[in-house]
Amino acid sequence: MKIKVGPSILACDFANLEAEIKRAKDAGADFLHVDVMDGHFVPNITIGPGVVAAIRKKTDLPIHAHLMIERPEDYIESFAKAGSDIISFHVEALGKTRNTRLKKANNIIKKIKKFNRRPAIALNPATPLAEIKGLLEKLDWVLIMSVNPGFGGQDFIPAVLEKIFELRNIYGGDIEVDGGINDITGKECVRKGANILAAGTYVFRASDMKEAIRRLKDDE
Ligand code: DX5
Ligand code: ZN
């Protein structure tokens, strides 16, 4: 299967954002993974729609806005209008009961599609697949977190490999894995059925970015 790589700009040099985006494109990035954090759903605060719009002007790479925020339904429009191509939101952010979560997820998916963007649902490491089973036929992209969201540079949690495998058995769409991805953990994810890798530290801090991305895509 062809593997796609989305460098997570959280690990880039933000003072030189334009140059960093260009560096990622020249090194073989398939899209940009943009981590949006609100200081509520996760303890950290990062990027908003204004920065996404600024990035949009500087690249033709697809932008994946990974929303690690509460009330994602309130921000779909601004991230879509800012030029995100893929918008992912967390099932854990959608309320206390499973019914509420499913209902909200369905509405958010509809909203993202209305703006002609691709919806994706994201799952924390501890969240079971059962949470999203009722949604899979409406989605062609699932984001499996392999660290607890909030920060770059954390260690990969191997327990998620089983989840990737289980998901691939029931789902033919794109499976992206995010957190602690390097040439070793990335390969394990691909072996279990993932076809998209988000990687921050491993890509942006590599001495040779092109080689780092090549290794992630190499499925030998
Ligand atoms: C974590 C973010 C990840 C993170 C990945 O909350 O969603 O996308 O930037 O960074 P690395 O690859 O350094 O683990
Ligand atoms: Zn992310």
* pLDDT for res 133: 93
Going by alpha carbons, the residue nearest to atom 4 of ligand 1 is 152
CA distance 143 to 121: 6
Q: Is the CB of 65 under 6 A from ligand 1?
A: no
Per the CB < 8 A criterion, the answer to whether 68 and 149 are in contact is yes
What one-character-per-residue DSSP string does 40-73 give?
A: SSSS-B---HHHHHHHHTT--S-EEEEEE-S-GG
Judged against a pLDDT cut of 80, whether residue 60 lies above it is answered with yes
Which residues have their alpha-adjacent CB atom under 5 A from ion ligand 2? 35, 66, 178
Q: Which of 178, 208, 218, 219 is catalytic?
A: 178
Judged against a pLDDT cut of 90, whether residue 220 lies above it is answered with no
CA distance 193 to 83: 29
How many angstroms does the Cα of residue 21 sit away from the middle of ligand 1? Answer: 16
Which H helix or E strand runs over 216? Answer: helix 209-217
* pLDDT for res 5: 98
* pLDDT for res 219: 77
Residue to probe by mutation, ligand 1, list 14, 40, 151, 203, most atoms within 8 Å of CB: 151
What one-character-per-residue DSSP string does 175-188 give?
A: EEEESS--HHHHHH
Beta bridge partners of 87: 65, 119
Q: Is the CB of 200 under 6 A from ligand 1?
A: yes
* pLDDT for res 192: 98
Residue to probe by mutation, ligand 1, list 8, 20, 37, most atoms within 8 Å of CB: 8
Say whether pTM exceeds 0.95.
Answer: yes
Judged against a pLDDT cut of 80, whether residue 11 lies above it is answered with yes
pLDDT digits over 137-192, tens only?
999 999 999 999 999 999 999 999 999 999 999 999 999 999 999 999 999 999 99
Per the CB < 8 A criterion, the answer to whether 37 and 122 are in contact is no
How many angstroms does the Cα of residue 125 sit away from the middle of ligand 2? Answer: 13
Average pLDDT, the chain: 98
The residue-averaged pLDDT of 1-9 equals 96
Q: Is the CB of 176 under 6 A from ligand 1?
A: no
CA distance 131 to 17: 36
Residue 51 pLDDT level (bands cut at 50, 70, 90): very high
Per the CB < 8 A criterion, the answer to whether 219 and 190 are in contact is yes
pLDDT digits over 89-115, tens only?
999 999 999 999 999 999 999 999 999
Residues in the chain: 220
Judged against a pLDDT cut of 90, whether residue 136 lies above it is answered with yes
Q: Is the CB of 67 under 6 A from ligand 1?
A: no
* pLDDT for res 6: 99
